[in-house]
């Protein structure tokens, strides 16, 4: 596993990272959305190890749930515990707690849906609101550090 450096990233890089890791956007799609060259986005992906983060994000909670369920079935059939299920349960509780926090990706999804809906009603006003929504999203990301 690569050494992870603590590096301060811009809000723009954070948005690109969320789109890549959590929304499975392509490098090209992110570049178009942010008005950047695809090589810039690709360099961010490589510099900040987005592939590794994507891999961790996509499997972890589901895999932990599967482990807990298998262990529960094993124990219910009289088997001996194969790992510290209490510790794993605590990890899952932490995952559940974090899942209840308002994620900037969720905020972005809701605002994008609202902007699309609003643009069908009043395109001029929607354009103004979209700009404010982008500012709010950047603020939300910066607040999370």
Asked if 96 and 113 sit in the same domain, the reply is no
pLDDT digits (tens, 9 = 90+) for 95-130: 666 666 667 777 888 888 898 888 899 888 888 888
Asked if 108 and 93 sit in the same domain, the reply is no
27 or 7, which is more confident? 27
What is the total count of domains within the chain?
3
DSSP 8-class letter at 37:
-
The mean predicted confidence, pLDDT, of the chain is: 79
Q: Which two tokens stand for residue 125?
A: 């006003």
In a domain, 53, yes or no: no
81 contacts 68 by C-beta, under 8 angstroms:
no
The H or E element containing residue 142 is helix 123-143
Asked if 85 and 109 sit in the same domain, the reply is no
Asked if 41 and 17 sit in the same domain, the reply is yes
In a domain, 65, yes or no: yes
Residue 2 predicted with pLDDT over 50: no
Asked if 84 and 106 sit in the same domain, the reply is no
For 139-143, what is the mean pLDDT?
Answer: 74
pLDDT at position 90: 75
Residue 1 predicted with pLDDT over 60: no
Confidence of residue 44 (pLDDT cuts 50, 70, 90): very high
Asked if 79 and 118 sit in the same domain, the reply is no
pLDDT digits (tens, 9 = 90+) for 92-101: 677 666 666 6
Q: Which range marks the domain in which residue 73 is found?
A: 59-100
Residue 43 predicted with pLDDT over 80: yes
In a domain, 132, yes or no: yes
What is the share, in percent, of the chain residues with pLDDT greater than 70?
A: 76
Asked if 30 and 67 sit in the same domain, the reply is no
Residue 5 predicted with pLDDT over 50: no
pLDDT digits (tens, 9 = 90+) for 62-96: 666 777 778 778 888 888 877 776 776 776 677 66
Asked if 40 and 78 sit in the same domain, the reply is no
């Amino acid at each position: 596993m690569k050494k992870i450096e603590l590096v301060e990233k811009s809000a723009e890089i954070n948005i690109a990272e969320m789109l890549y890791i959590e929304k499975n956007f392509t490098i090209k799609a992110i570049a178009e959305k942010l008005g950047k060259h695809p090589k810039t986005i690709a360099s961010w992906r490589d510099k900040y190890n987005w592939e590794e983060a994507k891999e961790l994000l996509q499997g972890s909670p589901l895999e932990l749930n599967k482990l807990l369920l298998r262990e529960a079935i094993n124990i219910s059939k009289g088997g001996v515990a194969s790992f510290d299920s209490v510790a794993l349960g605590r990890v899952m509780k932490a995952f559940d707690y974090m899942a209840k926090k308002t994620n900037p990706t969720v905020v972005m999804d809701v605002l994008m849906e609202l902007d699309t809906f609003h643009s069908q009603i009043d395109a001029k006003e929607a354009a103004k609101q979209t700009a404010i929504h982008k500012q709010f999203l950047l603020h939300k990301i910066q607040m999370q550090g």
